[in-house]
Structure 1
């Protein structure tokens, strides 16, 4: 529930915020009305209307700052502030407050692309006793851990955690629950990345039914985005374009410019993998470049976008220009996940083959195979091996 929904036209969002932070004390009438809207006992809510300790006051301020920083995309400050707030919550023996701040810290680490730290924090959240007391918390934690394993390239483990999250969500949550949908997103992504495309498409059918239900535009846009990704991977270009076009209508930069940027990057990459070299593909790349220049990006995000731009150059018959973009990316390759490093080496190999340096491409094909294998992306590893065999045969 948003502050506006809680205020329901009677109390402004700023007044609700003052109540939340303890800057204003509610009257008996307000307590009665808000307890009714929140669906809790009046006595419980009235108990909150008591003076707070210095630790509680500090926690509230830190939580507020951490969430503001996250909303403003200042993920380093969000991480550090959430960590500090979690420490205070632990000292107060407030498990719920600790869980919320630890979860926020993990989300900030995800956005910072600190894969190892993200995984450590996500597993700490999953293993906390409070997580087992609520189906919703369990689903959120399993999804968080799945996303962490996806980022570091351990795809089969990502699939396992996503499956647990989806199964738990089906048992305990409504199908249009954003928490349940997030678990489905993680499952589709991990299955697709690990090459299990038929299973990923079956999961997409469930996701498509949810997208047609009563869910927010942004959630529906996300659903069409991931469905389109799988369709492209399955070489079903018309379905891929249809779902990505639907996602483009629903996702808006004004709502979440970072999400919009990531969508345009992903759509451009998927379109090029399907061989779609059209102005619409270039428009996706340019929108992502412009947005990323405005909002800033991590090193990994900049490198990934440069790989996408290089792929555009290669597909348009400019392999030399593509290599010029890719060589600096290779020097910083350790900042990338294993699947992305595999795609990088595969693209370098293809450019070298086009420029007549087939012998040199073999080294990059082998690196691509190693990276894909480390990530558990068996279909991409098999492709790299097949291209290696073809290149060696051509050299003979």
Structure 2
């Protein structure tokens, strides 16, 4: 029962409750260490990540790596991917890159698990991008692009296009970035998964702003992220990130207009940075 409740709570985004039930389920199964035990341990770590309790999640992922039989490469990939996210959350980018590479290496041998490889590659690209290693990130994007075309799972395919688009914008290739973001939006909006829709629009808006693209589509993406997070529930960190992105967008618009210092109409610039209100109906129902 604990395992079922844990999955249900996770789907409802009740991460504290999901983590508690996953821990209880794992404890009851620990002596046998069968597949459900690994699933519960991974689920608990993922819940703790969502709660930004990175150190606790890292301890679980490290325990998983110590306990894993050599043959379970899928779980090894998941554990390294979890550790990469933990280290990224703690600001340890070198360690995050190491674990992301290990996740890709483990997933590369799983011929029947292409989604795991795509997810691992997308995570590696995100960490390399954050570390400023854009050339290496772009090399992995070429691999990701080829894999994405053969991936039948819409959510994974959309995530891949989003990751490639983000790197393209940061490299200054706005045409490629816009094309990838458009494709990702088509796929992810059709999945009706608000959580992924929110994350996609937030990360895409951030990449566009950092890459110097401050047009109406960037503002629309930020507004869609705000709306989606309002529907799914926002953490304090989400609020801070969204507020920071809104401020950066406004500042970039003011600077680009050349009117930040001379008292010219700010209202028009503010309105342009908010080209779409948070009531924008685009996105999954």
TM-score normalised to the size of structure 2? Answer: 0.85
Shift of the 294–159 alpha-carbon distance from structure 1 to 2, 3 Å rule, reads same
1:69-117 Cα offsets, whole Å, 9 max, x none, are: 1111111111111011111112x43343321111000011111122222
Shift of the 116–219 alpha-carbon distance from structure 1 to 2, 3 Å rule, reads same
What is the match of residue 160 of structure 1?
98
Give the counterpart of 2:184 among 247, 254, 259: 247
**Higher Rg:** 1
Partners of 1:138 and 1:108 lie apart in 2 by 18
Which structure 2 segments of 5+ residues have no match?
A: 263-285
Partners of 1:97 and 1:261 lie apart in 2 by 30
C-alpha contact (below 8 Å) 1:174/1:180 kept by paired residues = no
Q: CA offset at residue 129 of structure 1? A: 3.2
Aligned residues: 259
1:231 partnered with 2:171 = no
Deviates more, 1:204-213 or 1:174-183: 174-183
What is the match of residue 108 of structure 1?
47
What is the match of residue 10 of structure 2?
70
1:144 partnered with 2:82 = yes
Partners of 2:114 and 2:139 lie apart in 1 by 19
Partners of 2:121 and 2:191 lie apart in 1 by 25
Partners of 1:253 and 1:226 lie apart in 2 by 18
Partners of 2:160 and 2:153 lie apart in 1 by 11
1:215-237 Cα offsets, whole Å, 9 max, x none, are: 21111100011111111111111
Q: How does 1:253-268 map to 2 (within 5 A)?
A: 255-268=192-205
C-alpha contact (below 8 Å) 1:268/1:284 kept by paired residues = yes
Partners of 2:136 and 2:253 lie apart in 1 by 33
Shift of the 225–254 alpha-carbon distance from structure 1 to 2, 3 Å rule, reads closer
Q: CA offset at residue 253 of structure 1? A: 6.8
Q: How does 1:1-396 map to 2 (within 5 A)?
A: 61-90=1-30, 92-130=31-69, 132-170=70-108, 172-174=109-111, 177-252=114-189, 255-317=192-254
1:284-335 Cα offsets, whole Å, 9 max, x none, are: 11111111112211111111111111112212228xxxxxxxxxxxxxxxxx
Partners of 2:235 and 2:66 lie apart in 1 by 29
Shift of the 243–176 alpha-carbon distance from structure 1 to 2, 3 Å rule, reads farther
Partners of 2:11 and 2:215 lie apart in 1 by 35
Partners of 1:71 and 1:158 lie apart in 2 by 27
Higher-RCO chain (CA-CA 8 Å, sequence separation at least 6): 2
The alignment's C-alpha RMSD in Å is 2.0
Q: CA offset at residue 274 of structure 1? A: 2.2
1:144-177 Cα offsets, whole Å, 9 max, x none, are: 111211121111111111112212222x212861
C-alpha contact (below 8 Å) 1:229/1:270 kept by paired residues = yes
Say which SS state the counterpart of residue 189 (structure 2) adopts: coil
1:40-74 Cα offsets, whole Å, 9 max, x none, are: xxxxxxxxxxxxxxxxxxxxx11000001111111
TM-score normalised to the size of structure 1? Answer: 0.62
Shift of the 65–236 alpha-carbon distance from structure 1 to 2, 3 Å rule, reads same
Shift of the 98–166 alpha-carbon distance from structure 1 to 2, 3 Å rule, reads same
Say which SS state the counterpart of residue 288 (structure 1) adopts: helix
